[in-house]
A and B are shown apart, each in its own frame.
Chain A
Amino acid sequence: MSKIEETTSAIINEFDIFDDWMDKYNYLIELGKSLPLIDEKYKTESNLIQGCQSRVWLHASYDGTLIHFTADSDAVITKGIANLLIRAFSEHTPQEILDSSTEFLNEIGLTQHLSPTRSNGMLSMIKQIKMYALAFKTKQAMGS
Chain B
Amino acid sequence: MQTIASDIDKIRSDFPILSRKVHNKPLVYFDNAATTQKPQVVIDAIVNYYTDLNSNVHRGVHYLSQQATTAFEDVRTKIQKFVNAEYRHEIIYTRGCTESINLVAGSWGKANIKAGDEILISALEHHSNIVPWQMLCEEKGAKLIVCPILEDGSLDMSALSALMTPSTKFLAITHISNTLGTVNPVKEITRMAHEKGIVVLIDGAQALSHMKVDVQDIDCDFYTFSAHKVYGPMGIGGLYGKEEILNAMPPWQGGGEMIKNVTFEKTTYNELPFKFEAGTPNVGDVLGFGAALDYVTAIGLDFIAAREHELLEYATEKLTADPLIRIIGRAPEKASLISFMIGNIHPYDAGTIIDQFGVAVRTGTHCTQPLMDSLGIPGTIRASFAFYNTREEIDKLMEAIVKVEQLFL
Give the secondary structure class of A's interface.
helix
- B356 pairs with A78, CB closer than 8 A: no
- B347 pairs with A53, CB closer than 8 A: yes
CB proximity to B under 8 Å, residues A16-38: 21-22, 25-26, 29
Chain B, residues 335-377, CB within 8 Å of chain A (1/0): the string is 0000000000111110111001000000110000000000000
Count A-side interface residues using an 8 Å CB cutoff: 17
- A53 pairs with B348, CB closer than 8 A: yes
Q: How far is the CA of A114 from the CA of B349 in the complex (A)?
A: 11
Choose from B356, B363, B379 the contact partner of A21 (Cβ within 8 Å): B356
Q: Does any Cβ of B come within 8 Å of A52's Cβ? A: yes
With A76-B349, A114-B352 in contact, is A53–B364 under 8 Å at CB?
Answer: yes
Residues on A with C-beta less than 8 A from B403 are 22
CB proximity to A under 8 Å, residues B1-49: 23
- B356 pairs with A25, CB closer than 8 A: yes
Nearest Cβ in chain B — how far from A74, in angstroms? 6
Chain A, residues 68-99, CB within 8 Å of chain B (1/0): the string is 00000011111000000000000000000000
Q: How far is the CA of A21 from the CA of B24 in the complex (A)?
A: 12
Q: How far is the CA of A25 from the CA of B378 in the complex (A)?
A: 22
Q: Does any Cβ of B come within 8 Å of A9's Cβ? A: no
Residues on B with C-beta less than 8 A from A22 are 353, 356, 403
Choose from A26, A29, A78 the contact partner of B348 (Cβ within 8 Å): A78
- A77 pairs with B356, CB closer than 8 A: no
CB proximity to A under 8 Å, residues B384-409: 403, 407-408
- B379 pairs with A53, CB closer than 8 A: yes
Tell me the A residues contacting B by CB distance below 8 Å: 21-22, 25-26, 29, 52-55, 74-78, 114, 119-120
Q: Which 6 A-B pairs have the closest CB atoms?
A: A75-B346, A53-B348, A75-B348, A54-B348, A53-B364, A75-B349
